[in-house]
């Protein structure tokens, strides 16, 4: 189904990059719906051009691949080690980077000029199932030999879809932090993530007990519309809670504590808060398609908001993580143009992403590493992949 191909070679210190652009269908089952660009870089180290391919699927949804380099420090950090054994393929997943990027600015990008319902229809084709089909098109272009996956976070979810739908394309898979709970209802998944964030919050306050009152005061200010970003957005109480996402990163607790040392009306607080909030216009798919990652044959219906525990609702000192606030698309001026579209997406009946039967029968070696303190599910909650 490839309609157009281009390739350019670039050299960086210690690296050779093949920059590849393919045109593929937006909807593989209905090619008449139009074509989109898919962009990828094949990264090769010294004397590595005969090595097999490793496809890296990054976290998200809605984030492009890292731009590879070795200087002044490796990007990504694991790249030098991977290049000892592989050529690394870094794919800008559809809708991101140079792969026909989606923008919340409706004067730019593929959603421009479309009605909210047409925008939502377009966005339904940007999930893991179509990303895997793009990867298969890229694999065919590169010669068709099975390759190894490295899936990080959402990239791990996409890898499980790959194992479920196209195991014949894989010689192996490595999943890091992206173990989806196959067969678990979305409500169970989000209920668990709320429990995790409640525990994370209490752990934080044991380290910084004086911050609980500060957080409560800021929560009250957010309810009154007094927490404002530099561009004038009023950060509501539930959007404010999501600053807790930093508790899932190394050094995140100290970063949050340093934010709280500032006066909430100060420019320093406003700028630092804006930089720490997880959802925004830079990567709009991360917001509008976030809950769809967990939608395995169901609609999401604002699952994060629906499953917020009463204890969290009643206590403004509990943080949230990747919990999409329903009011976000009204409060964020960057995402506001998509507010009607977001409502349609929330009620979309999604197709099934994973087949337990196919996963159980897939003859592909898989290694997985789950982070014991990850925000998006405890290790004990995650299902073992069928057949593992």
pLDDT tens digits, 276-307: 999 999 999 999 999 999 999 999 999 999 99
| pTM, entire model | 0.92
Rounded CA separation 292/298 (Å): 9
Which strands sit side by side in the sheet containing 366-369, from one edge to the other? Answer: 5-12, 15-25, 35-44, 87-92, 53-57, 147-152, 170-176, 366-369
Per-residue DSSP letter, 75: B
Q: Quickly list DSSP for 256-324.
A: HHHHHTS-TTSHHHHHHHHHH-S--SSSHHHHHTTGGGG-SSS--SSHHHHT--HHHHT-TT---SS--
Whether the bond between 120 and the residue before it is cis, its omega within 30 degrees of 0, is no
The predicted pLDDT at position 380 comes to 46
Rounded CA separation 59/154 (Å): 4
Share of the chain above pLDDT 90, in %: 85
Tens-digit pLDDT profile for residues 251-260:
999 999 999 9
Of 56-70, 169-183, 258-272, the range with the lowest mean pLDDT is: 169-183
Q: What is the mean pLDDT of the chain?
A: 93
Above 80 in pLDDT, residue 383? Answer: no
Query: CA angle 342-352-341, nearest 5°?
Result: 10
The predicted pLDDT at position 387 comes to 52
Higher pLDDT, 253 or 386: 253
Report the half-sphere exposure of 159 (CA within 13 A, side-chain side): 34
Above 80 in pLDDT, residue 33? Answer: yes
Measured CA distances, 310 to 40, 305, 350, 375 (Å): 45, 11, 28, 19
Model confidence band, residue 108 (pLDDT cutoffs 50, 70, 90): very high
Q: Quickly list DSSP for 189-221.
A: HHHHHHHHHHHHHHHHHHH-TTHHHHHHHHHHH
Residue ranges and CATH numbers for the domains of the chain are 5-183+355-369 (3.40.50.1820), 186-346 (no CATH)
């Amino acid at each position: 189904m490839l309609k157009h191909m281009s390739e350019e070679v670039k050299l960086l210190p210690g690296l050779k990059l093949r920059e590849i652009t393919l045109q593929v269908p937006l909807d593989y089952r209905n090619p008449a719906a139009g074509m989109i660009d898919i962009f990828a870089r094949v990264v090769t180290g010294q004397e590595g051009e005969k090595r097999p391919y490793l496809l890296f699927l990054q976290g998200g949804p809605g984030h492009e691949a890292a731009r590879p380099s070795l200087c002044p420090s490796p990007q990504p950090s694991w790249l030098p080690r991977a290049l000892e054994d592989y050529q690394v393929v870094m794919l800008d997943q559809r809708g991101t980077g140079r792969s026909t990027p989606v923008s919340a600015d409706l004067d730019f990008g593929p959603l421009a000029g479309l009605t909210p319902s047409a925008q939502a229809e377009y966005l339904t084709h940007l999930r893991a199932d179509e990303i895997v089909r793009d990867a298969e098109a890229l694999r065919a272009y590169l010669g068709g030999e099975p390759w190894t996956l490295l899936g990080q976070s959402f990239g791990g979810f996409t890898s499980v879809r790959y194992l479920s739908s196209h195991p014949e394309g894989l010689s192996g898979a490595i999943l890091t932090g992206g173990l989806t709970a196959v067969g678990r209802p979305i409500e169970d998944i989000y209920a668990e993530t709320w429990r995790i964030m409640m525990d994370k919050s209490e752990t934080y306050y044991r380290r910084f007990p004086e911050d609980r009152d500060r957080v409560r005061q800021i929560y009250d200010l957010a309810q009154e519309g007094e927490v404002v970003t530099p561009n004038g957005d009023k950060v509501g109480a539930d959007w404010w809670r999501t600053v807790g996402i930093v508790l899932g990163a190394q050094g995140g607790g100290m970063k949050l504590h340093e934010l709280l040392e500032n006066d909430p009306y100060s420019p320093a607080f406003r700028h630092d808060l804006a930089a720490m909030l997880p959802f925004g216009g830079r990567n709009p798919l991360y917001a509008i398609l976030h809950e769809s990652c967990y939608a395995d044959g169901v609609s999401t219906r604002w699952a994060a908001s629906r499953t917020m525990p009463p204890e969290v609702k009643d206590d403004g000192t509990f943080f949230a993580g990747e919990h999409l606030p329903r009011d976000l698309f009204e409060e964020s001026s960057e995402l506001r143009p998509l507010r009607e579209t977001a409502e349609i997406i929330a009620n979309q009946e999604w197709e099934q992403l994973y087949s337990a039967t196919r996963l159980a029968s897939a003859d592909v070696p898989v290694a997985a590493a789950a982070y014991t303190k990850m925000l998006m599910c405890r290790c004990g909650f995650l299902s073992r992949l069928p057949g593992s």
